[in-house]
Amino acid sequence: MRHKINGYKLNRTSSHRSAMLANMAVALLLNEQIKTTLPKAKALRPYVERLVTKARNVSLSTRRHIMSRIRNEAATVKLLQVLGPRYLTRPGGFTQIIKAGFRYGDMASVAYIQFVDRDIKEKGCYTQRQVVQATNE
């Protein structure tokens, strides 16, 4: 029986899955739109929605909780200072998934996951190399 079992396994171990979701969440928070497979986007959506809901109430415990989940200072700062206040009055549904057809190599269904009312200029602005350079300076 599968009672009260939810979430996507994505054919990965739990540690790999949690690391992948954290990395994808950082990419989504920094760029506000990413392209991935449909099952990964569906798994990422509740993960990010909980983080944004938590970020609407700014406190030290909130900052520590978010840092324990995504382990990235730049994404945490953006979440607490930009995205939290942006969605303060919105009751939920901060992200949307847009299907984008199938990938050429393996015919996997591809989708864009993005924030509702996102900043268009943020798309593709941050890469991992730029984030590392900004934190080292």
Q: Which domains does the chain have, with CATH numbers?
A: 14-136 (3.90.1030.10)
- Quickly state the pLDDT bin for 121 (edges 50, 70, 90): confident
pTM: 0.88
Average model confidence (pLDDT) across the chain:
91
- Give the number of residues written for the chain: 137
Q: What is the pLDDT of residues 46-103, one digit of tens each?
A: 999 999 999 999 999 999 999 999 999 999 999 999 999 999 999 999 999 999 999 9
Instruction: Name the nearest CA neighbour of 45 among 28, 23, 69.
Output: 28
| Distances from the Cα of 43 to the Cα of 9, 31, 72, 84, angstroms | 9, 18, 20, 21
Burial of 28 from C-beta contacts in 10 A (0-12 / 13-18 / 19+):
buried
